[in-house]
Amino acid sequence: MGDELKCRRCDIAMTEGFIPAESNGFRRIATWQEGAPRGFLEWFKYTKQPSTIPIVVYRCPQCGLLEMIAAASKES
């Protein structure tokens, strides 16, 4: 909202969306996590706290290009 993202191929406005993430039956929004996953269990060990930065995904309605942004949380 406000600053709309334009597709770098088509130069038209992209549609905001998100990637659903399901864990233990809970539906959440995929979040950005620092570091590289080396296997799920190991990754969990290194992850002290799950990231709270939600990934906003913009999709071009024309060519389907996706643009992902994990901006810092709005609450501060």
Site of interaction with Zn ion (CB under 5 A): 7, 9-10, 60, 62-63, 65
Cα(first)–Cα(last) distance of the chain, in Å? 19
To the nearest whole angstrom, how small is the minimum distance from the Cβ of residue 9 to Zn ion? 4
To the nearest whole angstrom, how small is the minimum distance from the Cβ of residue 17 to Zn ion? 14
The answer to whether the CB of 31 falls within 8 A of the CB of 21 is: yes
Q: In this complex, which beta carbon is closest to Zn ion, that of residue 7 or of residue 54?
A: 7
Q: In this complex, which beta carbon is closest to Zn ion, that of residue 39 or of residue 64?
A: 64
Q: How big is the CA angle at 43 (ends 42 and 47), to the nearest 5 degrees?
A: 120
To the nearest whole angstrom, how small is the minimum distance from the Cβ of residue 58 to Zn ion? 10
Closest CA to 71 of 50, 51, 44, 49: 51
